[in-house]
Every structure is written in C-alpha cells, then in structure tokens.
Structure 1
Amino acid sequence: MQFKVTEAAFAGFRLIRREPRTIAIWAVFNLVAGMALTAAMIQSGFGRFMSASKTGTMSPDLMVGLLIGEGVAIVGTILIASVMGAAVYRAILRPTEAPLTRLRFGGDELRLILLSVIMGLLFAVLSMALFIPVAIVGVAIAAGSGFGHGESVGATAGVVLVTLLGYLLVLIGLVYFAVRLSLAGVMTFAERRLRVFESWRLTKGRFWPLLGAYGLAVALMIPIYLVMTTLYFGVSVAFAGGDFSRAASEVFQPDMTTLAAYFSPARIAYLVFGGAVGGVLTAVTYAPAAAVYRDIAETRPENQAEVFS
C-alpha cells in the first residue's frame, strides 16, 4: 500500500489544528529546554573559551571547556529531540496516551536517544566513507593537471567542476540513505524496540514518494523560518537603536561569553519567538514519518494478524 504524499506532508499541520493546546505546551517546553541547555553549555566551559578566544589567551584547560560545552550541547539536543519526537509519534500513533501534553520520559524516549546516537555514528562513518574517495580523486586530478602550477584557466575550471560534481554525488548519496532510514525512529517508537535497519526494508520502492513528502514539508517550513527571522531581526534592530550592523551581529554571532551577555533583551525576544515557532516546527518535522508509517503499517502482515486474531 502506498501513502499519499500531500497527506503525509500536511500531517503536522493537521495535528496543529487538532491539538492547539498541546502545541502551545510544546512551545513552552521548547523555550524552557532551549534556555536551560544554552545556560548549561555556557556555564560548562564554552563561555570561558569564547571569552579567551576574543583576547587570544588560549590554554589546554579552555580547550577542554570547549569540548565539554559542545558535549553538553550534543547530549542536550539529542535529549530534547527524542522527547519531542516521541511526543509527536505518540499524538499520531497512540492518541490516548498523555492526551494533554504528549510529553513523557521513559522507555520510548530512551530508545530514541539510543537510536539517535547510533544514527549519528552511522552517518559519520558513512560520510567519511563517501567523502574520502572523492577527496582522493580530486587531489589526483589536480596533481595530474598541474593544479596550482600555472595551469590554464580551463584546466582549473575542470578540476573545480569535477570536485564539485563528486561532492554533489556524495550529498545525493547521503540524502538517499537518510530517506531510506527515515522510518527508523517511528518504527522504534511504535514497536517498542530498537529499529535501525528495518526501515530499509519498509521504505523499499517508496524512496521518491518519501522524498516528495519530506521535501514538501520542508518547503512548508521555509515561510515559517522567514517570518521568525524577519520578526527577530526587526526586534534586534529596535533594541540596537536602529544600528543594522549591531543587530546583524546579534542575530548571527550572539555573545556567548557569559549568561548575562547572551541573554540580552534581543536574544530573549528571539528565544520567545523560537519557542513559539518551535512547537509548530516540531509537529511539521516529525509528523510526516509517523503518518507514513501508520499508513504502511496497516498492511504489514504482523499487524493484519493482530487485527484478525
């Protein structure tokens, strides 16, 4: 059984319309969790590293602080994403569970955390396995054409074009693997056991419809991002007294040396905007895979056996 691309892409928006109160709670959760994670990251050593980087006084201890801060950011991001992902899956696949918030922390979330770690390592290895041969070929072509030693403009353009084409093919390969394994999370949640490669079998013959559904969902999110960024930049300009340069610096390079420096009035406004939009984006991001799995799983033999037993 195939699924409808548009229905999968709009699954998040249907969830928003059906459970607006839940989405509002998710927005508050995103805001609080995001602020707590950022504060923990700055306090864990990242802030000291940023302060030292501005003065040029680096030391091994500061590098350790940087690594700890980045570790806190990675662990916190995985934790928040797993909790929110499970909440969306729960709303679509188990609508009777935790009907007010859909938020829990238990076996479902722990399995998704473990899956996130495995997937992160898997795609890190996969990226290296794909990028390294392309880099080697690029170096070989450059050496063979005398790149950097007075070669012609045409030869230089040829090397650059071949290298870019190679990296484009690698990117396409990573997208292919990501789509084929995209149901691993919802399968792990729905079947209450770790599922990593089972998604490969379930997505067989469905790559293009899945890519279409995810692509359409991303396209629907772009206007939301643009609106949020525009509002935030407007607020930043207002707090900066009309100084566009200072506002741009606040938007793209926030001061993370201390908690007081980071949580400026403009940044707090951004976090409020981000938290509000975060509830919507969470639904739009995770819902398509859950909707696809729900439609496909209805025809899986083990599920049919449960229905007719």
Structure 2
Amino acid sequence: MSTRSYDFGSAVFRFFHVAGKNPAAVLWIALWQALLTGGLVYLAWVTLGDFYIWMFQLAASGTEPDEAELFARMGSSMALMPLISIGGVVVSLLAQAAWLRLLVREEIAPVFPFRIGSDELHLFVTNLGLIAMGVGAYFAFSFLMVIAAFGAAAAFSGGGEAGAAIAAGLVVGISLLVFLILALFIAVRVSAAPALSILQKRIAFPGWSATKGVFWPVLGSYIVAGIIIFVLSSVVGLILNFAFLGALWPTLSEFFTMAQAGQEPNPEQVLTMLTETLTSPGTVSTLIAAGLLSVILRSFVDAIWHGVGAYTALSSQPLAAPAGSD
C-alpha cells in the first residue's frame, strides 16, 4: 500500500511554481479576467451611474424627487443588473476553470484562455453541490439551534426569566462554536473538489477522497496562503489608496484653501468641483490604471487560493505527487 505524499510548501506555493514555469499563461489569464471583470463593472456604472448622479444633484439642491420619475429612473437602471450579475457569475466560473486547468493540468486554451466546455460544466455542477451543502447545513443548524435554545429555556424556566435566558444563551453560544468547527472541518475536506473535477474531468462533488488523511496539512496550507494573500492585498491596497488620494488631491487642496479662508462651499460647488476632477484625463487614467491593478491582483489572489486545492487534488492521485513537491 502506497503512503500518501503531501508537501506543505508545495501546496502553499503551487501557484508560484506554475507561474515560474509559465509566466505568460498566468499573465494572460489574469489580464483577460481583469478585462472581463472591468467590463462588467463599467456596465454596472453606466447602468447605475446616471441614477446616482441625478439623486446626488437633487440632494445637493434640496429638491424632492418626483415619485413617478424616481421609479421610472430606478426601473430603467435596475433592469440590466440581473444580467450583469449573471455575467459576473459566468466570468468567475470561466476564470476558476482556466486557473485550475493551468494549476492541475498545466494547460491553457490558445488565444482566449476562457472557454465553455465539459470542464466548465463539471466545475459548475461541483460548485453547485458545494453551495447546496453549505446552504443546507446552515439552515439545518439554525433550525436545530432554535429548538435547542427553546428547549434549554423551557428546562431552566423554573429558575426564572434570568435562568432561562442564561441557559438559552449558553446553548446558542456552544452550538455556534460547534457549528463553526464542523463548518471548518467540512470546508477543508471538500476544498479540493473543484480542482479534482478539472483534474479527473468529471463531477467531483464532494471530493472527500482528495483530503483523506491530510486534513491538518491542508488546513495549514490554506492558513499560510491566506496570510500571503493578506500581505499582498495590504501592500497593493496601500498603493491604490495613494493613487486615489493623488487623483483627488486637487479637489481636496481646493477645499483646504477655502476652509483656511473661512469659506464654506455650497453643495453645487462641491458637485462641480468633484465632477471636474473625476472627469479630467489625468484622474480618469489614474483610476482606470488603479482599477485594472486591483482586478489583476484579485485574479492572482484567486489563483494563489486555488493553488492549495490544485496541489491537494494532484497529491491524491495514485501516481507520484506533482512536480515541485521535492
């Protein structure tokens, strides 16, 4: 009987190992994910932007909106949001499949890295199964917790309202702790299911076998990957904050000058100043660049997280552990 091999470092750095071997593929997937996500964000802004600008203008002028016009604008603005939301789900699924194909099979679709095929279908059904499991567990636990709390309150009602309340609170607190522990255990045990579905080209729900015997190493890998993601996100977030501050600095500087002179701008002035700043070519370029960087970072964050599940799925196969585990 062969012994299961699981290398902690290779699991955490699976993404970096693949990126080092094929950096062009990593950048290509991240770029397309950023472009498609950015396009959806732009559509959402075009759909909702005019409505919120109109509302802000009314608030600045102190005018009450006409009810009929309000509902008409709201209806036209919200009509496309369900389609945009569906588009976001589709892009997320396509990106997840593309990353997992690269991380577990080291493959990338030519020219356009996203596609709709059997991999995406298997991944979609597997993800649906995981979501259904999570939602079902949540509602089942909530129902049982309410019953237990009422039962504890009834059992200790002889001690008065205070005793019943304390008993119910203890039951809820302990039940919540138990639920969190069970949720963590189940989440780790099924974490490799999406990667397994891409690796084996089948619906892999719930994927228990991939994490059998390696629960603690997998949990530790996700914790370390989460720390890496937190550090990267913090650094890039700091850069983005400075970029936004630089873009808005002309307007802020003008506000400071007016405040020092004892002048208080009226709402119309504030709106005009903000509009001029946000529509200037320099500000628009800065915001687009910062937004693109943010979305690309999100792509890399997704890939780093998927890397742990990808290595776990690969290491569960009867052959040797994946390359990069030595």
Please give the TM-score of this superposition, normalised by the length of structure 2.
Answer: 0.68
Q: Secondary structure at the match of 2:246?
A: helix
Which residue is 2:237 aligned to?
A: 229
Q: Distance in 1 between matches of 2:83 and 2:135?
A: 16
Letter in 2 for 1:182: S
Q: Secondary structure at the match of 2:316?
A: helix
Letter in 1 for 2:138: S
1:62–1:205 Cα change, 3 Å: farther
Which residue is 1:14 aligned to?
A: 17
- Tell me the CA shift for residue 208 of structure 1: 1.5
Letter in 1 for 2:298: G
- Tell me the CA shift for residue 28 of structure 1: 1.7
Q: Percent identity?
A: 18
Q: Distance in 2 between matches of 1:160 and 1:66?
A: 42
1:96–1:202 Cα change, 3 Å: closer
Contact 1:78/1:113 (CA < 8 Å) preserved in 2? no
Report whether the alignment pairs 1:39 with 2:60: no
Which residue is 1:214 aligned to?
A: 222
- Tell me the CA shift for residue 63 of structure 1: 8.1
Listed one character per residue, the Cα deviations across residues 53-99 of structure 1 (whole Å, up to 9, x for unaligned) are 988968699589769635642x3343223222222222233335537
Report whether the alignment pairs 1:297 with 2:297: no
Contact 1:3/1:292 (CA < 8 Å) preserved in 2? yes
Q: Which runs of 5+ in 1 are unaligned?
A: 247-259, 301-309
Q: CA RMSD in A?
A: 4.1
Q: Secondary structure at the match of 1:194?
A: coil
Q: Which runs of 5+ in 2 are unaligned?
A: 256-277, 321-326
Report whether the alignment pairs 1:107 with 2:139: no
Q: Secondary structure at the match of 2:249?
A: coil
Structure showing greater radius of gyration is 2
Which residue is 2:263 aligned to?
A: none
Which residue is 1:252 aligned to?
A: none
Please give the TM-score of this superposition, normalised by the length of structure 1.
Answer: 0.72
Which residue is 1:5 aligned to?
A: 8
Q: Distance in 2 between matches of 1:122 and 1:31?
A: 30
Report whether the alignment pairs 1:286 with 2:306: yes
1:2–1:67 Cα change, 3 Å: farther
Q: How does 1:146-157 map to 2 (within 5 A)?
A: 151=162
Total equivalences in the alignment: 278
Partner of residue 28 from structure 2, selected from 25, 35, 42? 25
